[in-house]
Amino acid sequence: MTHVLVIGAAGMIGRKLVEKLVENGNLRDREISRFTLVDVVAPETPPNAPCPVDLVACDFSESGRAEKLIENRPDVIFHLAAIVSGEAETDYDKGYRINLDGSRHLFEAIRLAGDSYCPRVVYTSSIAVFGAPFPDPIPDDFHLTPLTSYGTQKAVGEFLLSDLTRRGMMDGVGIRLPTIVVRPGKANLAASSFFSGIIREPLNDQEAILPVGDDVLHWMASPRAAVGFLLHAAEVDGEAIGPRRNMTMPGVGATVADEIDSLRRIGGEARARLIRRVPDEAIRLIVSGWPTRFDTKRAEGLGFKADASFDAIVRAYIDDEGINI
């Protein structure tokens, strides 16, 4: 029997992850016996949940919260909670409180739990841990020199996860997610939000704002692929991973122009014309320091799978969200 804790369960990826876990019914070759779903706003009970579900609304970075979340000894912990890149850059204190202090409180609570408690912890990191200048492609072991506060916070989380895992205090796996595209719903405060917006809004017959040039190249994955990464990270053999517990996930390298070409092929020329170019220097500067393409042979060798193409990413959004074309 497996107790699963999801921190960040009310977010888009968190909701989709829980839906897939409920559908599967098991994890790590054991039946899921309990869910604890946590976010700053109360998550919803997943339909058809086959086991008890505890819903917790809290700021997990507050003192004493992490200890409460693990007091029932969850077997697998998905740590998805984060302040996104743009907000972490503009609100220094909030970014460090959630992205760094929250992660440290969680890891410390696990360390101090006693009774040989050693859960599998899946930590969502980011390709923002890397900073320019880059080789092309970027190898998995390229040094971490982030150029944003968000990337710095995620990099420190990676180091903490590695150290506690090395010491046998938890069984951590850190996955550096590509930018997730196409995100359903409204735009968030991430600097990368436009990568989704220039597909999502036109497919919903709305105007989209493009703040950067068409030549901007980025590393992306669909929400469907991201859920697959998380599930596989929960189950992959720790000995096969070895001591380097953080790795970059496979993705699709595509330019803004590639995105627009996919939109035009799948949604038609009229929808592509709904993109309006409004340059934003602040976003351009943030994006210019981001990595572009990666060598992800290590993750692929461990069984992590990417989307087949950017067209596949667009079609996954259409299928998963029930968009009429």
3-state secondary structure 288-314: HCCCCCECCHHHHHCCCCCCCCHHHHH
232 within some domain = yes
Tens-level pLDDT at each residue, the chain (325 residues):
999 999 999 999 999 999 999 999 999 999 999 999 999 999 999 988 989 999 999 999 999 999 999 999 999 999 999 988 888 988 999 999 999 999 999 999 999 998 999 999 999 999 989 988 889 899 988 999 998 999 999 999 999 999 999 999 999 999 999 999 999 988 777 788 999 999 999 999 999 999 999 999 999 999 999 999 999 999 999 999 999 999 999 999 999 999 999 999 999 999 999 999 999 998 888 887 778 899 999 999 999 999 999 999 999 999 999 998 8
33 within some domain = yes
The whole model's pTM is what?
Answer: 0.94
Active-site residue flag, 150? yes
Pick the catalytic residue: 96, 123, 150, 317? 150
Specify the CATH number for the domain of residue 112. 3.40.50.720
- What pLDDT was estimated at residue 290? 78
Count up the domains in the chain and report the number. 1
78 within some domain = yes
The per-residue b/e assignment along 29-42, b for 16 or more CB within 10 angstroms, e otherwise, is eeebebbbbbbeee
157 within some domain = yes
Q: 140: left (phi > 0), else alpha (psi -120 to 50), else beta?
A: alpha
204 within some domain = no
Q: Which domain holds residue 62?
A: 2-178+222-248
Residue 263 DSSP symbol:
H
Angle at 233 between CA 106 and CA 96, to 5 degrees: 35
75 within some domain = yes
